[in-house]
Structure 1
Amino acid sequence: MKHLLPLLALPVLLASCCGTIPADRLLLDGRQVGAKVIAITRNVEDPALPGMAIREVCFVNEGKSPITIDAMETSAIEVKGAEVWTFQPSSTGERKDWLFPVEDGFYQRNYLGMNDPDYGGGIPMVCLWTRECNLSVGVAEPVLRLVSMPVSRNKGVTRACIRQDFEEPVVLEPGDTLRACKQFIISSQGDFFNPLREFSQYMQKTYGFQPPVSPADAFEPVWCAWGYERTFTVDEVIGTLPKVVELGFKWVDVDDGYQICEGDWSANDRIGPDGMRRMTDAIHAAGLRAKLWWAPMAADPESSLAANHPELLLVQKDGSHEDISWWDSWYLSPVNPYTMDYTLDLVDQFLVKWNFDGFKLDGQHLNLCAPDYNPASGLQYPEEACERHPEFFKGIYERAQADKPGSVVQVCPCGCAVNFYYLPYFNQAVASDPTSSAQIRQKRKTYAAMCPQLAYYADHVELSDGGLDFASQIGVGGIIGTKFTWPEPNPDATENGGSLLTPEKENLLRKWVPIYSSKMLSTGEYLNLYDIGFDKPESHVIAKDGAMYYAFYAPSWDGEPITLRGLEARKYTVTEYTLDEPRTYEVDGPDPVIRPTFEGNYLIEVK
């Protein structure tokens, strides 16, 4: 038996979206149990957030016998259709796309806790959509909850829900009540953008979540010294600066390799005691700004920090330290007061003593941690470490702004779907080690939905398809970046042939950096006018300074019609602004159709 309290609008809304009334159930060994259990739900809608219903679900044992369960599933939604796209922003070592179509037999758990040694966290929402309808389900809590959002597809039906698995079986005695976390269902149309924007707005209105607003400096183009890799020298970085300036870059990111080890963040012997300040002095003298790579919340087992201050380390239930496999390090407890004091002292060292202008905080381990059993952390319960994890970033961000107002703080949770809850505590997002150009574009649209005024760095162009896809960086409103080396690569560098600035790449940089700097689409408004799954070719639109900038992507396009959406009923001039000799033509709004022919991309300005 199920009591559905207000609102009647919810089942009508779902039925109109080729879905079903949300289902709630208790499970034991994968089977539904609790014939005498009543699922009581309270659905609340806000006129300011149309299509969104907040659900509060509790189960009451009204029988005369105890009921044993090991899981509960709530707010289950279903979408029927031959073609279904999904948005599943969870984090695993596979570094999967966040959005993709699903086929029969598909299953993905989407656990918001730790999935692999270094990977956890994400955006607490999944989305299912067809050409006709869109349903999303997610968690509406002020902090991260250790639940999953499984998505499956069988016999043409795609299903998603909120699921909580219990470490030990739970016994509901007669009269007992079990509550699920607060959750939501959103009905919409198009792709994931609108429901994700609505979720972000709900978090702002309900819990005071503040999406970041980036300073102007955060949108400037970036040269990163990672091309020289971990054995870079001070002279290599300083020697590259004339070319960095010549090509129009404004930021220099000093990357991994300056430190003794993770945890011991003094300069190593190769860099020398004055090497870090030599670099920042030279960078500033060249009219550039400097960011410093840093992997906080980590300490190598052989570091003096781990040896002398074990009270900072995260302790797991079995008494072991949580491993960070990528760095061969251990996690520091993010909410441990000793960890925070140590971390804030490092912020002062980097920004004041060494005179850097911001940070590149790096590593998939940053996205979340395991529950912490370290008594020195002073937690009421181990999972509090996961819930309060964003406080670590809040501390870094606020100290950075106090030390150097306007400093740029970038967080790169490599390959992860960003942990939504620490979004207010950095001011430059990043494509975070994309495996393809498509990921660069997908992640940009995701950040634009959640935080429309957050700068989005498209990462090193060398990570894009072919290593030279500047159009995928610029066309979606990303910040251009590269890691070239010049005049010689580091002899120990192995990636991208040492990342040497070849004549071909230099010619492309001389073309694309001025395009980026003149248009600055990264400071424009991303408009959700196309469905990234079903509209072909893949289409993105940026509005800036009275113009509309369209970016279309496909392996090839041979004159098939494309409708330019979002225009008024008047005449417009179209400029193919990325050509060596830009061409123009005219169209009549509001819905002009163009028939371009292109390979890879087609970027136009319409005004």
Structure 2
Amino acid sequence: MRYFSIRIIIILAFVLLASCRKESGNSVILQIENGALMYEVDTYLKTKISSNLPQTKTLVSSFQPSENIEINGKTIEQFKHQETNETTIGGDLPGRQWVVQGIYKNEEIDIQKTVRLTTYDSFPDLVSTQVTYINMSSNNIIIDNWSNNNYIIESQNDEPAFWAFQGSSSSSRSDWVKPLEAGYYQKNYMGMNDSDYGGGIPVTSVWRKDVNVTVGHLALVPKLVSLPTEVFSNPLGAKIGVQEDFDDHTIWKPKDTIQTLETFVSLSTGDYFVSLARYSELMQAKGITIAEPEEASFEPIWCAWGYERDFTLNEVIGTLPKVKELGIKWAVLDDGFQIAEGDWNANPKKFPQGNLEIKRLVDKIHDSGLKAKIWWTPLAADPGSKVLREHPDSKIIQEDGAPQYITWWNSYYLSPTKDATIAHTKETIHLFMEEWGFDGLKMDGQHMNAVAPDHTLENPNNSVEGLPDFFQMIYEEARSIKPHAVIENCPCGTCMSFYNMASMNQAVSSDPLSSWQIRHKGKTYKALVPKTAYYGDHVELSDGADDFATSFGIGAVLGTKFTWPKDNPNASGKYLLTPEKEIIWKKWFDLYNNLMLSKGTYLGDLYDIGYDKPEGHVIQKDGALFYAFYTDRWDGDIQLKGLDRNKTYHIKDYYHNETLGEISGANPVYNASFEDFLLLEVSPK
């Protein structure tokens, strides 16, 4: 037995020596290869990532301090390696794990660093990281922040240098996907960034033409961390990472431990689609449950918001025949029916007979053969509203003692984990769906995406981390009343919190500022929740207020807020369904109902939304591939990706109903000339 043990030690020593190599005087003490990702650690616990994918170039030229801690205003980047241990992990997520330990020590500070690196068998191309720091000093230390998965990715002189997906939210309602050039910086904080704005998808994905690098965290609830993105000019490179900042003068006491979140780095080719899909699948494997799709959520929508808050019941009821004629299946009662945010009964100034009038409206909608959805802004309560009169302590109170304010609604935030908030919310759902008979909820407002810490709670961050449970409660309560209820979450202009996505069955582009936003938001949702209906929002919000092609081509549900037979005087003629517009609207809704591309499989890995020109999207349905291309003007060849090289295909422009000939999968190049959009159906011969 003794001889056997010695032999193992000798073998292990030989393997360790064989796997070590020198770079800049430092030995590589660990190499992890998981799919396309090569992950190396040196004797100072710095790391280097590289790709073994074909035709990919250098990501980083040297080892970088990817995991570090800032204390007393100084970033500690080098920890002298002490030991490394490797184990196999089982359970629902089997894989391998390496624990690497190092030490930083000077006359005043003594810090032990332990890095846990994990690969999961079912998730190639990804390594996760969690770091534990122990203050081994005999004195207090001021801690500023920790950072994980910090990498400066080298440019390969692409034009633009990089594209990026950034999952944060801000009052600017900026694009989630954009090109990056030198001088760019965005903090991407996952908490509140403005009075109404915060939350998002805790992932940053940066890519060049040859490779994509993605980082994020894997906590199962929202966390108040940042994923900063910065582009340096000399040399040109994009920096990404995950960081948690501590309050000023946060004391780190002797022997106390600080543990980071489990974060990750992953590689892929193409744009961000594959990386986001992999992230969502891993989060689901860790315990996030995504709601199942609902058949009715794929049906087209008319919303009464064209009449805005001053609508009358006669206007809504009078429009229903035209809604039905166009082949639309849903009618939505929007903002303006309620007494106040926080008192959702019918406003007696508008409805003298109160709630009975709204119930009659729902009956009219149902009698027209349509389903009824109602607008609602949960968590908002106006000063003096019923819920605040009865439960004044239901508000979120900030650290300075002031309530958190929702600027957009002139309201206060209700605290999502408090009993009074939950009881009020359930009461409202029963009013809408049981008493009035609505079939679905349109939850609306950028404030829904995140909340601030509530300092009336024992742990203030419970409000932040408990928000997803609040939306799950809404989903379950509504579906207990109407088992097929459609639950739409529309966090206006924000990058919707991944954690809230689990509790809805209809995503939406939520007040897009352009058709480009409708398309890249759709690609994002289809990566994260591929079976859920994605609603392109009112077409009137698209370029030209009539870009149905954008929603149609990416497999989004069509919607409109037209007025008829007369326009809302506040709308300046924008929403009136004129006879000329009606012909176009009817064509698109007929085409939608016939093809139902929203139920198809979106093949988001075929075209790079940044570098490929023209911009391309593909949906697979009923044995055919439906291609959508977008640009101002195109004359030239387009490669139809995804075809079987052993087959021949028919090509049809399905919008213009024109047969365009045949194409071989062995040479799938089509010469096209179009403006704005081209929609093709390509089916096997």
Q: Same fold (TM over 0.5)?
A: yes
Give the Cα–Cα distance (whole angstroms) in 2 for the partners of residues 331 and 116 of structure 1.
Answer: 13
What secondary structure, in the 3-state scheme, does the structure 2 residue paired with 1:320 have?
coil
> Among residues 119, 134, 141, which one is paired with 1:45 in the alignment?
119
Q: Which 10-residue stretch deviates more, 55-64 or 283-292?
A: 55-64
> Among residues 344, 355, 368, which one is paired with 1:265 in the alignment?
344
Give the Cα–Cα distance (whole angstroms) in 2 for the partners of residues 322 and 329 of structure 1.
Answer: 9
Give the Cα–Cα distance (whole angstroms) in 2 for the partners of residues 150 and 544 of structure 1.
Answer: 39
The corresponding residue for 1:72 is: 146
**1:146 aligned onto 2:224:** yes
Give the Cα–Cα distance (whole angstroms) in 1 for the partners of residues 335 and 433 of structure 2.
Answer: 17
The corresponding residue for 1:23 is: 66
- Does the 8 A contact of 1:24 with 1:39 survive in 2? no
The corresponding residue for 1:93 is: 171
One-letter identity of the residue aligned with 2:298: F
> Among residues 131, 135, 141, which one is paired with 1:57 in the alignment?
131
One-letter identity of the residue aligned with 1:605: E
One-letter identity of the residue aligned with 1:507: I
Give the Cα–Cα distance (whole angstroms) in 1 for the partners of residues 27 and 262 of structure 2.
Answer: 18
Q: C-alpha displacement at 1:75, in angstroms? A: 1.3
Q: 1:590 to 1:64 in 2, by over 3 A?
A: farther
Give the Cα–Cα distance (whole angstroms) in 2 for the partners of residues 186 and 460 of structure 1.
Answer: 36
Q: C-alpha displacement at 1:41, in angstroms? A: 1.3
- Does the 8 A contact of 2:170 with 2:197 survive in 1? yes
The corresponding residue for 2:302 is: 223
What secondary structure, in the 3-state scheme, does the structure 1 residue paired with 2:430 have?
helix
Deviations 1:150-175 (CA, angstroms, capped at 9, x unpaired): 00000211011111111132344554
One-letter identity of the residue aligned with 2:284: Q
Q: C-alpha displacement at 1:518, in angstroms? A: 0.6
Structure possessing the higher relative contact order (Cα contacts under 8 Å, 6 or more residues apart): 1
The corresponding residue for 1:556 is: 633
Q: 1:417 to 1:3 in 2, by over 3 A?
A: farther
The corresponding residue for 1:569 is: 646
- Normalised TM-score (structure 1): 0.95
Deviations 1:67-86 (CA, angstroms, capped at 9, x unpaired): 32212222112211132111
The corresponding residue for 1:343 is: 425
Q: Which 10-residue stretch deviates more, 310-319 or 89-98?
A: 310-319
Give the Cα–Cα distance (whole angstroms) in 2 for the partners of residues 144 and 260 of structure 1.
Answer: 33
Deviations 1:30-54 (CA, angstroms, capped at 9, x unpaired): 6424853343211110121011111
What secondary structure, in the 3-state scheme, does the structure 2 residue paired with 1:345 have?
helix
Q: 1:3 to 1:164 in 2, by over 3 A?
A: farther
- Does the 8 A contact of 2:563 with 2:577 survive in 1? yes
Q: Which 10-residue stretch deviates more, 174-183 or 76-85?
A: 174-183
Q: 1:591 to 1:419 in 2, by over 3 A?
A: farther
- Does the 8 A contact of 1:89 with 1:125 survive in 2? yes
- Does the 8 A contact of 1:142 with 1:203 survive in 2? yes
Give the Cα–Cα distance (whole angstroms) in 1 for the partners of residues 28 and 363 of structure 2.
Answer: 68
Q: C-alpha displacement at 1:60, in angstroms? A: 3.3
What secondary structure, in the 3-state scheme, does the structure 2 residue paired with 1:415 have?
coil
How large is the Cα RMSD of the aligned pairs? 1.9
- Does the 8 A contact of 1:7 with 1:43 survive in 2? no
One-letter identity of the residue aligned with 1:188: S
**1:486 aligned onto 2:560:** no
Deviations 1:355-409 (CA, angstroms, capped at 9, x unpaired): 10000000000011100123xxxx4400011001111111111011100111000
The corresponding residue for 1:358 is: 440
Q: C-alpha displacement at 1:450, in angstroms? A: 0.7
- Does the 8 A contact of 2:71 with 2:141 survive in 1? no
Give the Cα–Cα distance (whole angstroms) in 1 for the partners of residues 550 and 369 of structure 2.
Answer: 28
Q: C-alpha displacement at 1:2, in angstroms? A: 12
Deviations 1:74-105 (CA, angstroms, capped at 9, x unpaired): 21122111321111011100001101111111
Give the Cα–Cα distance (whole angstroms) in 2 for the partners of residues 482 and 456 of structure 1.
Answer: 14
The corresponding residue for 1:7 is: 32
Give the Cα–Cα distance (whole angstroms) in 2 for the partners of residues 521 and 510 of structure 1.
Answer: 17
- Does the 8 A contact of 1:295 with 1:362 survive in 2? yes
Q: Which 10-residue stretch deviates more, 16-25 or 292-301?
A: 16-25
Give the Cα–Cα distance (whole angstroms) in 1 for the partners of residues 567 and 518 of structure 2.
Answer: 26
- Unaligned stretches of 5+ in structure 1? none
What secondary structure, in the 3-state scheme, does the structure 1 residue paired with 2:182 have?
coil
Q: 1:136 to 1:4 in 2, by over 3 A?
A: farther
Q: C-alpha displacement at 1:342, in angstroms? A: 1.0
- Normalised TM-score (structure 2): 0.84
The corresponding residue for 2:520 is: 442
What secondary structure, in the 3-state scheme, does the structure 2 residue paired with 1:439 have?
helix
Give the Cα–Cα distance (whole angstroms) in 2 for the partners of residues 65 and 402 of structure 1.
Answer: 56
Q: C-alpha displacement at 1:14, in angstroms? A: 1.9
Give the Cα–Cα distance (whole angstroms) in 2 for the partners of residues 497 and 306 of structure 1.
Answer: 39
One-letter identity of the residue aligned with 1:328: N
Deviations 1:297-343 (CA, angstroms, capped at 9, x unpaired): 11111323223320221111122111000000000111111111111
What secondary structure, in the 3-state scheme, does the structure 2 residue paired with 1:556 have?
strand
What secondary structure, in the 3-state scheme, does the structure 1 residue paired with 2:123 have?
coil
Where does 1:304-323 land on structure 2 (aligned, <5 Å)?
A: 304-323=386-405
Q: 1:501 to 1:538 in 2, by over 3 A?
A: same
- Does the 8 A contact of 2:187 with 2:226 survive in 1? yes
One-letter identity of the residue aligned with 1:535: D
Q: Highest Rg: 1 or 2? A: 2
Give the Cα–Cα distance (whole angstroms) in 1 for the partners of residues 28 and 341 of structure 2.
Answer: 54
What secondary structure, in the 3-state scheme, does the structure 2 residue paired with 1:443 have?
helix
**1:588 aligned onto 2:664:** yes
Give the Cα–Cα distance (whole angstroms) in 1 for the partners of residues 617 and 445 of structure 2.
Answer: 29
**1:181 aligned onto 2:261:** yes
The corresponding residue for 2:323 is: 244
Q: Which 10-residue stretch deviates more, 384-393 or 36-45?
A: 36-45
Give the Cα–Cα distance (whole angstroms) in 2 for the partners of residues 197 and 495 of structure 1.
Answer: 40
- Does the 8 A contact of 1:368 with 1:386 survive in 2? yes
Q: Which 10-residue stretch deviates more, 307-316 or 450-459?
A: 307-316
Give the Cα–Cα distance (whole angstroms) in 2 for the partners of residues 561 and 525 of structure 1.
Answer: 21
What secondary structure, in the 3-state scheme, does the structure 2 residue paired with 1:315 have?
coil
Quote the sequence identity (%). 43
Give the Cα–Cα distance (whole angstroms) in 2 for the partners of residues 421 and 527 of structure 1.
Answer: 24
The corresponding residue for 2:8 is: none
Q: 1:8 to 1:144 in 2, by over 3 A?
A: same
Give the Cα–Cα distance (whole angstroms) in 1 for the partners of residues 638 and 194 of structure 2.
Answer: 45
